[in-house]
A = this chain, B = another copy of it.
Amino acid sequence: MPRKVDHEWRRAEITDAVVRLAGRSGLSGVTFREVAAEAGISVALVQRYFETKRNLILRTAEAVSIGMTDRFVGRLAKLGPDGPILDRLRELALSFLPTDEESRRALIFYHQVGAVGLTDPTMRGVEAHGRADRLVDLVADMLRQGQELAEVDDTVDAIVEARILLALMVGLSLSVLLENQDLDQVTTAIDSQLARLRRIPLPGKTNRMIQREVSSRSTRSIESGMSVWDRSSRHRPR
């Protein structure tokens, strides 16, 4: 196995241990000693790879962010390349919910990093939260696309709507994790919010008919927009 791959595998093993630990006892439970024990390696090795606790948290946030993106991309892929925009947005929203152990841990980590960022501005630029603007732009682009394809109500302001949807997703995922709502209630909320964005078909002309009139180039630009987001999340600053 080439050395680089080996290093990446080792780093992933360590950041996975961080996410498991943080999911059990919070970020305050993340120490080099505990991480080493959880990963089954030496403290010296964890230190060699990550140097500081801050760096360990940042790199783990980055790994969690990549995992969430992969999750979303995987859900989108199931819809095929021409899935309706509102269905795509639904997949995006659902991929931010704690529906299994992996997403549950990822979201707990995401919210914990957010809580640290409340009092430590140097932690606000981390992957998990620093890409908020790009995510708003992605959702806004999808909504504009939907308007062009006559699937989304063209009276809504795409940027405002994108900010609403993303803030809603943050609040809903938190309420599931804190057991104030269950997954069914939250899914109903997402569907209800998205249903409002749907364009009401014109009499005598279905949305699908209008859609066929619109060039298919626009679908391409969404895919490339997502790739930018995807690529940037894979960019390793270190």
Contact = CB atoms under 8 A, between A and B. Distances in A.
A61 interface: no
Among A108, A129, A180, max chain B CB count under 10 A is at: A180
Interface in A110-154: 111-112, 114-121, 124, 129, 132-133
B119 A111 contact: no
Interface stretch (A8-16, A40-48, A165-173): A165-173
Contacts of A121: 179
A189 B167 contact: yes
B120 A26 contact: yes
DSSP class of A's interface residues: helix, strand, loop or mixed?
helix
B118 A177 contact: yes
A26 B121 CA distance: 12
Interface in A178-208: 178-181, 185-186, 188-189, 192-193, 196
Given A115-B112, A132-B180, A160 B188 contact: yes
Contacts of A24: 119
A160 B25 CA distance: 32
Contacts of A163: 175, 181, 185-186, 189
A224 interface: no
A51 interface: no
A28 interface: yes
A167 B157 contact: no
A160 B192 contact: yes
A125 to B, nearest CB: 10
B192 A164 contact: yes
Interface in A23-58: 23-26, 28
A222 interface: no
A174 interface: yes
Across the A-B interface, the 10 shortest Cβ-Cβ residue pairs: A167-B171, A115-B115, A170-B171, A171-B171, A132-B180, A26-B119, A167-B172, A168-B168, A108-B118, A164-B189
17 contacts: A23-B119, A26-B115, A111-B115, A111-B118, A112-B119, A114-B115, A115-B115, A121-B179, A124-B178, A129-B178, A132-B180, A160-B189, A160-B192, A163-B186, A167-B175, A168-B171, A171-B172
